Amino acid sequence: MTATPAALPLHAPRPCGWFTRLAAWLLLAVAAAGCSSLPAQVQRTPSRAWSTPQDTPLGQLAQARRAQAGARADSGFFLLDSVDAAFGSRLALIEQARHTVDLQYYAIHADASTALLLERLRAAAGRGVRVRILLDDFNTVGDDAQVLRLAFVPGIELRLFNPVAGSRGSLVGRVLGSLHDVDRLTKRMHNKLFLADSAWGIAGGRNLGDAYFGGDEASAFVDLDVLAAGAVVRQMAASFDRYWNDPLAYPVQSLLSREDLGALAAPADAAGPGPAAPPAPVASGLQPAAAVLPQVSAQRVRDAARPQLDLARVPLAWAPATLLADSPGKVGPGDDEAGAGETTIDGLLQLMRGARQEVVIVSPYFVPGAQMLAVFRELRQRGVAIRVLTNSLASNDAPAAHAGYRRWRPALLDLGVELHEMRADPASVGLAGSNRSGRGGAGVSLGSGVGGSKSGASKASLHSKAVVVDRRLAVIGSMNLDLRSQLKNSEVALAIRSSTLARQAVGIVEQSFARGAWRVQRGEGGGLRWVAPPGAGFADATQEPEAPWKLRALVNLLAPFAPDEML
């Protein structure tokens, strides 16, 4: 997960002058807060998703695939458990769309993989496809603010959801400059959808950026999406429209100008943004990518290129499904319960209550809270097994979230919940040094890839979000099993009643249990033990394994000041 206000990456300050700099930042933030505000009158032209997907080539392909399979269900699904399949499926949807492409994301980062996707989107707009991008506003700072250049490309509309007033120079500055409006700052749109012609779509855990597609040298997120075709995509499109047309969605042009973006890019692009280059056909190469993200070299964009997924041949599991989606009102001002109705997490808990044998949970940030713990207790009293894969401290990119998780760890173990914590070693989770062949091949865990490309990341971090009930029902989406997803963030997920898909998902998780995660158990004297799988190349431990003492000390320091509902 990209850092949220409650889980910002914390770095040790330099010993000299850090207090003076912090005091100066605070004074500047207070001054900025007094004069920064959102525009009161905003022109929003309503628009809707494509209403006749059956008349598009993508819609007709979905119908043909269903007829070929002889399926009664009207929605088909394919797990995107590899970085190449996840990236290639998005390329395929852009290239084959004829009318609309709609994107809804928490974060879009300015890097090579994103530059390639955005360049393809710009080319699609050039051939007459309407492109709408809805982006949460929290991370649109620094280099990542350059993604907003797309708002000034003909045929592309870009809106920011729940925007924050203040500087876009840095994330720290933005947080400090918004301390006067903490309620708005802490409620974020965490939804992740990628839709083409209302006929095919993608839901899951990935944001857009190198770390989610195997191209980041520092870290790699182990993630999971699902490709959907058919009727359920109309539900996904309707959810997108609710957010797009909500008063909390601000057109970029109402918040900043092209010149503002040019000023932010000045250190890397002294010439400013200049006029938008005309969209170039894909066959002409990728050089125009610099016009979208000027700090990303064309060579890096070429390096990020991967084959498209073949939508005509990808195996689809046809099954009944529905969309679990929070309303935009959950992110609105006021009480956390106002306007939210039944939330995605509420619906998920109801589905879990129907379990008879087993619930498998994958959640990188696992802070259950009292209500969720009561559901687990009810399940365990009926003999239902609960198996959880989450991050270890070493693999967690949000130390504050781990501080919240560890509070609940003893109670979870006492209920008989089976806890597994993933390693940070990319090799052990199939991200480095393997052929990452994906499902059915030599990949060993969630996030193993296809096509032979390799991640050079030095750290792996679990980012997948999924729940599987009785190996019959799979729920895959943007939600974590934590109080932030339950109370603060808006979320979206696909609930798919398919034993085929559910078993595939459990199989992927069990590979992680067997090769890339410790099982946490009670040790002697009531302490904890981290037990490595049989035959693993890593050892047991009696304290947070492979986490340096500085990180353990940081979590100890954060624990008293990290409220569960903010994690």
Taking only Cα atoms into account, the Rg of the chain, rounded to an integer number of angstroms, comes to: 23
- Residue 152, class by beta-carbon neighbours within 10 Å (0-12 exposed, 13-18 middle, 19+ buried)? middle
Distances from the Cα of 92 to the Cα of 53, 97, 147, 200, angstroms:
16, 8, 21, 10
Is residue 190 among the annotated active site residues?
yes
187 in active site: no
Is residue 211 within 8 A of residue 462, CB to CB? The reply is: no
**Catalytic site residue from 109, 330, 402, 463:** 463
Which member of 187, 402, 465, 488 is catalytic? 465
Pick from 320, 344, 418: nearest CA to 190? 344
354 within 8 A of 476, measured Cβ to Cβ = no
Phi-psi region of 142 (alpha: psi -120 to 50; beta: other; left: phi over 0): left
Active site residue 402: no
Q: Which one is catalytic: 109, 192, 402, 459? A: 192
Answer yes or no: 197 catalytic: yes
**Which residue of the set 190, 330, 420, 459 is catalytic?**
190
> CA nearest 348: which of 502, 216, 480, 184?
480
Active-site entry in 136, 197, 225, 425: 197
32 phi and psi angles, rounded to 5 deg? -65, -35
**Residue with structure tokens 């207790």?**
377
Residue 463 known to be catalytic: yes
Region of residue 90 (left: phi > 0; alpha: psi -120 to 50; beta: else): alpha
CB 258 within 8 A of CB 152: yes
For residue 375, what is the enclosing H or E element?
Answer: helix 369-381
Which residues are annotated as catalytic?
190, 192, 197, 463, 465, 470
